[in-house]
Structure 1
Amino acid sequence: MKKMHVTVNGIKFDVEVEVYEDDENILAPQQYFIPHHRYNENISNVQANALFSKQTQKLKQTLKQKADSNVLSSPINGVVLEILVNVGNEVEENQVLFVLESMKMKTNISSPRAGKIKAIHIKVGDSVETGQLLMEYE
């Protein structure tokens, strides 16, 4: 185990990590979603030296596939509070598309890429589950 200090949005954390391979640098220039929290920090200039193994490679592939995908699935379970776009709208990367409520917290669901909306598969008041199809891009 290796002890590290990590700072997220100005808050410092002490963490212990298990090192599989040393000196592997990972750049994270994208926005990542963690249930109920959204970190929109551009950390492309920060190199994280730590443990990264097969799981990290799998995560990188998954994130790339999601960004290249023509569908958007729900990252959390919740209830649809707002739909901020319509079929045929052109959307930009990181534009808020939907607002979901989960455990009395509102969560904005943003577009992972720019594109034109082909279909929306939910309506206000619907309950959605993690992984459920929300919309499609052309």
Structure 2
Amino acid sequence: MKKLLVTVNGIRFEVEVEVIEDDELTYQPSQGIIPVGAKPSEHLSSSHLNTLMRTPISRQTKTLTIDQKKLSSPINGKVIEIPFSIGQKVKENDVLFVLEAMKMKTNISSPVSAVIKSIEVKVGDNIEAGQLLMTFE
């Protein structure tokens, strides 16, 4: 199984993909395994999954899991902007941090809609991949 982040119709999913046969894949969102068929003349690869069109899984109001209550940095870099503050409501995909790494700016977006509980870094901090940046209520 290989984990991928896939965006379908603006909805972001973390999925595990397993090749079952040459022309068939499955994708496993948190709600269960969904077979993804391919025509005999097509071969699906991970690069094609971002264009996969399926009926979106219904958006339900849900309780955040422990992992969803924490936002960690995916890269090393320097914090150059934090546009939100503690107590503010953020929506999924809002830019919460702007980092600079190797003279390039990288936006770190909210994985969920939530209220900011804490911000663990400040502008000017050098951070490492995996370092906790923010927690949500």
What is the aligned-residue RMSD (CA, Å)?
2.8
What is the TM-score of this pair, normalised by structure 1? 0.57
Unaligned runs of 5+ in 1: 1-18, 29-40, 47-64
Aligned to 2:104: 105
Runs of 4+ aligned residues of structure 1 deviating over 3 Å after TM superposition are 41-44, 65-68
Unaligned runs of 5+ in 2: 1-17, 30-48, 55-63
Say which SS state the counterpart of residue 112 (structure 2) adopts: coil
Distance in 2 of aligned mates of 1:130 and 1:68: 16
* 1:9-24 matches, cutoff 5 A: 21-22=20-21, 23-24=24-25
Return closer, same or farther for 1:88/1:120 CA change in 2, 3 Å cut-off.
same
* 1:57-96 matches, cutoff 5 A: 69-96=68-95
Confirm or deny: 8 A CA contact 1:96 1:111 kept in the other structure.
yes
Give CA deviations for 1:17-51 in whole Å, capped at 9, x if unaligned: xx9531123388xxxxxxxxxxxx963407xxxxx
Return closer, same or farther for 1:130/1:66 CA change in 2, 3 Å cut-off.
farther
| Matched letter for residue 26 of structure 1 | Y
Aligned to 1:119: 118
Confirm or deny: 8 A CA contact 1:97 1:108 kept in the other structure.
yes
| Matched letter for residue 68 of structure 2 | S
Confirm or deny: 8 A CA contact 2:98 2:107 kept in the other structure.
yes
Return closer, same or farther for 1:112/1:128 CA change in 2, 3 Å cut-off.
same
Distance in 2 of aligned mates of 1:77 and 1:21: 36
**In the TM superposition, what is the alpha-carbon distance from 1:69 to its structure 2 partner?**
1.6
| Matched letter for residue 121 of structure 1 | E
What is the TM-score of this pair, normalised by structure 2? 0.58
Distance in 1 of aligned mates of 2:122 and 2:68: 22
Aligned length, in residue pairs: 90
| Matched letter for residue 72 of structure 1 | L
Identity within the alignment, %: 51
